[in-house]
Amino acid sequence: MRLTHFFSAWCLSSAMAWSADTVSFEKDVRPILKAHCFHCHGEDGETKGGLDVRLRRFLEKGGESGPAIVAGKAAESHLLEMITSGEMPKGKPKLPEKDIATIERWIAAGAPTLRPEPEKLGPEHQFTDEERSLWSLQPIARPAIPAIDAGSAHPIDAFIAAKLSEKQLSFSPEADPETLIRRASFDLTGLPPTPEEVESFVAASSADPAAAWQALLDRLLASPAYGERWGRHWLDIAGYADSDGFTEKDPERKYAYKYRDYVVRSMNDDKPFDQFVREQVAGDEIALKLGLHADSPTPAERERYAELLTATGFLRMAPDGTATQNDLLTRHASIAATMKIVGTTLYGLTIACAECHDHRYDPISQADYYRLRAVFDPGFDVKTWRTPPGRLVSLQTKEAKAEAAKIEAEAKKIDDARLVKQAAFIDEVLEKELAKRDASIRDALRTAYKTVAKDRTPEQVKLLKDNPSVNSLSAGSLYLYDTTYKTKHADTLKQMADEAAAVRATKPVEEFVHAFTEVPKAPEAVVASHVLHRGDPESPKDPVGPGELSVLAGSRPVEIAAEDPALPTTGRRLAYAEAITDGSHPLLARVLVNRVWMHHFGKGLVASAADFGVLGEKPSHPELLDWLASQFMARGWSLKDLHRTILSSRTWRQQSRRDPERERIDPDNRLLSRQNVRRLEAETLRDSLLAVSGKLNAAVGGAPVPVMYNEEGQVVIGVDTTDTAGRQTGKFIPLNGEEYRRSVYVQVRRTRPLEMFAAFDAPSMTDPNCEIRPVTTVSPQSLLLMNNTGMREHAQAFATRLIAECGTDPARQAERAWWLSYGRRPAPDDVKAAVEFIQAQTEHYRTHPAKLDRVSGPAEKDNAAPELMGLAALCHALMSANGFLYVD
C-alpha cells in the first residue's frame, strides 16, 4: 500500500513534465482556489453564498448565484467573471493575471480532472495526490552515486560534477592552503587561524596534502571552540535568549544559559543528533523512564538527570510574557511561538501558518497543527499555567535541603540571641536617658515609650515629642548613643549579624534549571486539546489527540499515543521524539543536513532552509541532499562525521573567485562551480577582534557576560549600575577578563542586543527564532567599525600585543599584523605602505597626543606613547577592512 502511493506520486510528477500544456483541476486550478477562495468557500464549514469550490462538481453546481463554471464555456462562467472583475476574492487584491488565465484555459478545455472526484470530502480527501507528492514529504532515498571519470571521486563531488557538466561547467581550482585553513577555521570554530597554525599547515601541506588536511580537521573538530561555533548555529534556530521578551520589561532568564552550555557541550561531544533531538523534546520523560531524579544515588546519575532536564529548555526558549502579563492570550502566544520553533527546526516547514486555518499552500491542516500541539499541551497546560519563575526545576538533593535547613536553624539561633541582646541594650540606654530626667516623669515616659505607637494617648505622644532623645531610641539609632555613653553596642550587634550571615553563606547553593516538564496527572485530568476556531483561544472546537502531520500517513504511522502507562506523565513527547528520529522521517535529517550545508557554503541545497514547502525553494541537488541525509543517519547522526565528509570534498575546497564564464552560466552559483565569499557573522567578527588583539578569554560555559547601556546610550558589555529610576550612577564594576569571553557567552537580552551584534545582523530573538540570518550592508556598520570606542580598544590592544611580540620595528610590526589579521604574508608594497602609514600617524600623535580609549570604566589619565597610537591606527585599519570581514 505504501509503495503504491509512493510510486504513483513519482509517476504523476513525471507525467506532469511532458504534458505541461494540459491543465487539470487537481494540478493547476485547485492550488489557486485553495490559496485564495477556500477560506470562505469550503473550508471549516464556511460556504459563503452557498458556494463550495473544493471540487469541480461543486463548482458546476454552484451557489446562490447559479453555477460557478460551465465546462467548455469560459465566457459563461460566473467564477471567471467574478475574478476577472476583481470582485472576488472580496476585499483582497485581484488574482494575478496568470492565475486567471489558467482558470480560463481550464474551463475552456472542458474543466478536466485527473481522476474521478470523491463521493464526499472526508478527512482522507483533505489533500490531493498532487499535494502529497511534495518533494520534501517523500521518503529519503539512497540515490546511487553518479559515475564520473575520476574513479575515486568523493560522492559529493560526483553529484555536483554531474550537474556541472550538464551546463558545461567544471570545478574551480582548489584554493591555496592559506585560504583553506582560514576558511576551515572559521567554518568549524568561528575563529581565525593563528600565524603559527597557518605556517605549520602550509608546510605540512606541501609534504602530504591529504594527511595535513585530515590532521587539520582533527584538530579543529576537537577544539572546544567547535562546540561554541556550531552550538551558536543551533541556538539561532532554537531561539535562545537570556530573557523572557514579549513585554517591554523583558525579565532576565537567570538559568537559560545552562541550555546554551548543554548545546555547546553536545556539539563538542558529537552527541548523535537523533539523541540530541530526543533529549530536547522529551529529556524529562527520558529521565523518568531511566528512573533518574535530583536524589539519584551517584553524582553521574544526578548529572545526567540535570542534563536531560536542561535539554528540554529547547521548548522554553520562545518569548513568554506571562511573568508580567499572565493572561490566556499571552500564554497562547508563547505556545504558538514554541510551535513555530518546533516547525522550523524539526520539519523545515511553516507549520505555524496552520494555527488559524488550513495551510494555504502546504498539505498541513489546521487540525494537524493542533494534533502536533497536543503532543506538548500537557506540558504547557494552559489551564494551570506555570509562569516562568514558577516552572524552574530545583536540582537540590534532599540531603542538601536538609543541610540547608540545619544551617538556617543555626543562623536563626544567632539571630535570636542578637534580638535579645538588642532589647537589653535598648533598655539599658533607656534607663540612662530616664535617669537624666526629672524623677516625676520617668515612669510616665517609660510607659509611653514602651506602649505600641498606635495605642499611645495624645499625652504620651506629646511627652515623647518633648523628649526626642527617648523618642528616637531604636535598634537603628543605637549607634548614636554609643558616642554619648562610650559604649560599643552597635558594633556588638553588627558582629552578631555578620556571624549569622557567615553561617548562612555556608548553605549549599540551590541550583535551578529552565526546563520544560509535565506535572503528572491522572489521564482524565490531562488538559484536553482542541482545534481553536480561527486560532482564537476562547473558541475551542473539535477535540484532537496527539499526532504528526496527517499527510505523512501514507508512508508512516502518524498517531502518537495519548498515554504511556509506563510513565507518570503522558509520555507523548517521548513517543513523538522517538517517532521523528526513527530514521524514516522524510524531513528531519534532510532539514538538518541542509542547515549544515548552508553554514559551509553560505546557502543550503534548499535555499529556503526553513521552508521545504510548496512556496520554498526546490533543492538544487535533490539526490545529493538525500544521499547526505541517508549517509548522516547511517553514520549514527554524527555531525562531526558530516563536517569531515563535506570539508573533504573538492566542492568545498574550491577557490571562490568569480569569472565571466561562470557568472554568465550560473550567476547565483547554485551549481557550485566555486566556493562563495562570505561575510563574518556578528559574533565571529567580535571573536576575531578579540583573538587577533590577543585578549580572547577562552573560558567555556557559565553564567552570561552581562550587558548594559553606557553613557552614550550604546549597549556594551558591563554590569548595569543604573539606579532604580534608570539613571546612570557612574559606578563601574570591573569584569576582570569576563568582558573578553567569546560572543556566544554574552547575555542575549532580547531588548538589549549588544551594539555590534545588532549592527551586524545577529538575531534579537523576538521573531521568535532565526532561521536564516540576513546579510545587510549598511552604513551604521561602517560608522561602528570606524568610530566606535570598542573598535579603538581592540586596535590598541592589538598594537600593544604587536609591540610585546616584535618590538618597535614598524616593518616587523606590519608583517606580524598582517599574519594575525589575514593569515598570510603581506606583499612588499603593503609593508612599505603600512610603514609609511604608521610613521605618519605616529608623527600626528607627537603633535596631537591622545589617550587610550575606554568603552566603560574610568578614563585613562595619561597620554599614550605616539608609537603605540600610530601602530594602533594600522591595526584599526586592518581590522575594519574587507579582508578581515570576509572569508574566501
The single residue among 232, 845, 866, 867 that binds another protein, judged by CB under 8 A, is: 845
Taking the complex as a whole, how short is the minimal distance between the CB of residue 263 and another protein, in angstroms?
24
The single residue among 852, 866, 867, 887 that binds another protein, judged by CB under 8 A, is: 852
**Are 173 and 654 in contact, with CB atoms under 8 Å apart?**
yes
Q: Quick one: CA dihedral 515, 520, 521, 526, positive or negative?
A: positive
CB atoms within 10 A of CB 329: 12
Q: Is residue 773 close enough to count as binding another protein by CB under 8 A?
A: yes
What separation in angstroms does the CA of 711 have from each of 721, 735, 854? Answer: 11, 18, 12
Q: Quick one: CA dihedral 763, 768, 771, 777, positive or negative?
A: negative
Site string for another protein, 313-352 (x = CB under 8 A): -------------------------------------x-x
Task: Give the Cα separation of 480 and 471 in Å (integer).
Answer: 13
Q: Nine-digit cell at 822? A: 589575514
Chain position carrying cell 552560466: 665
The single residue among 787, 807, 858, 862 that binds another protein, judged by CB under 8 A, is: 787
Site string for another protein, 77-116 (x = CB under 8 A): -------------xxxx-----------------------
Q: Is residue 885 close enough to count as binding another protein by CB under 8 A?
A: yes
Residues 6+ apart with CB under 8 A from 316: 256, 338, 391, 514, 515, 516
Taking the complex as a whole, how short is the minimal distance between the CB of residue 578 and another protein, in angstroms?
29
**Are 873 and 838 in contact, with CB atoms under 8 Å apart?**
yes
The single residue among 841, 856, 867, 887 that binds another protein, judged by CB under 8 A, is: 841
Q: Is residue 798 close enough to count as binding another protein by CB under 8 A?
A: no
Nearer to another protein, 16 or 885 (CB): 885
Q: Quick one: CA dihedral 754, 760, 765, 769, positive or negative?
A: negative
Q: Is residue 288 close enough to count as binding another protein by CB under 8 A?
A: no
The single residue among 776, 805, 846, 857 that binds another protein, judged by CB under 8 A, is: 776
Nearer to another protein, 431 or 659 (CB): 659
Q: Which residues pair with 340 in a beta bridge?
A: none
Task: Give the Cα separation of 335 and 377 in Å (integer).
Answer: 9
Q: Is residue 788 close enough to count as binding another protein by CB under 8 A?
A: yes
Of 741-770, binders to another protein (CB under 8 A) are: 751, 755, 758, 761, 766-767
Nearer to another protein, 483 or 882 (CB): 882
Q: Which stretch binds another protein (CB under 8 A): 226-234, 401-409, 578-586, 780-788?
A: 780-788
Chain position carrying cell 593569515: 823
Nearer to another protein, 62 or 870 (CB): 870
**Are 554 and 137 in contact, with CB atoms under 8 Å apart?**
no
**Are 842 and 874 in contact, with CB atoms under 8 Å apart?**
no
Q: Is residue 887 close enough to count as binding another protein by CB under 8 A?
A: no
Q: Is residue 709 close enough to count as binding another protein by CB under 8 A?
A: no
The footprint of another protein on this chain (CB under 8 A) covers a number of residues equal to 84
Taking the complex as a whole, how short is the minimal distance between the CB of residue 651 and another protein, in angstroms?
19
Q: Is residue 777 close enough to count as binding another protein by CB under 8 A?
A: yes
> For residue 128, which of 43, 55, 39, 46 has the smallest C-alpha distance?
55
Q: Which stretch binds another protein (CB under 8 A): 48-56, 369-377, 587-595, 650-658?
A: 650-658
Nearer to another protein, 162 or 758 (CB): 758
Nearer to another protein, 62 or 790 (CB): 790
**Are 68 and 62 in contact, with CB atoms under 8 Å apart?**
yes
Which amino acid appears at position 98 of this protein?
K
Of 668-687, binders to another protein (CB under 8 A) are: 668, 677, 679
Task: Give the Cα separation of 762 and 679 in Å (integer).
Answer: 13
Which amino acid appears at position 183 of this protein?
R
Q: Is residue 851 close enough to count as binding another protein by CB under 8 A?
A: yes
Nearer to another protein, 270 or 681 (CB): 681
Nearer to another protein, 39 or 258 (CB): 39
Q: Is residue 609 close enough to count as binding another protein by CB under 8 A?
A: yes
Taking the complex as a whole, how short is the minimal distance between the CB of residue 846 and another protein, in angstroms?
12
Residues 6+ apart with CB under 8 A from 142: 626, 627, 630
Nearer to another protein, 6 or 837 (CB): 837
Q: Is residue 610 close enough to count as binding another protein by CB under 8 A?
A: yes
Taking the complex as a whole, how short is the minimal distance between the CB of residue 547 and another protein, in angstroms?
23
Of 487-526, binders to another protein (CB under 8 A) are: none
> For residue 279, which of 250, 313, 230, 247 has the smallest C-alpha distance?
313
Query: What's 346's DSSP letter?
Result: I
Residues 6+ apart with CB under 8 A from 827: none
Of 217-276, binders to another protein (CB under 8 A) are: 248
Angle between helices 195-207 and 810-822 (to 10 degrees): 70
The single residue among 216, 292, 591, 772 that binds another protein, judged by CB under 8 A, is: 772
Q: Is residue 607 close enough to count as binding another protein by CB under 8 A?
A: yes
Task: Give the Cα separation of 469 and 382 in Å (integer).
Answer: 59
Q: Is residue 723 close enough to count as binding another protein by CB under 8 A?
A: no
> For residue 524, which of 560, 576, 562 has the smallest C-alpha distance?
562
Which amino acid appears at position 503 of this protein?
V
Q: Is residue 713 close enough to count as binding another protein by CB under 8 A?
A: yes
What separation in angstroms does the CA of 609 have from each of 234, 540, 591, 675, 770? Answer: 13, 33, 7, 19, 11
Q: Is residue 839 close enough to count as binding another protein by CB under 8 A?
A: no
Of 159-188, binders to another protein (CB under 8 A) are: none
Taking the complex as a whole, how short is the minimal distance between the CB of residue 199 and another protein, in angstroms?
21
Q: Is residue 611 close enough to count as binding another protein by CB under 8 A?
A: yes
Taking the complex as a whole, how short is the minimal distance between the CB of residue 84 and another protein, in angstroms?
17
Helix (H, G, I), strand (E, B) or coil at 559: strand
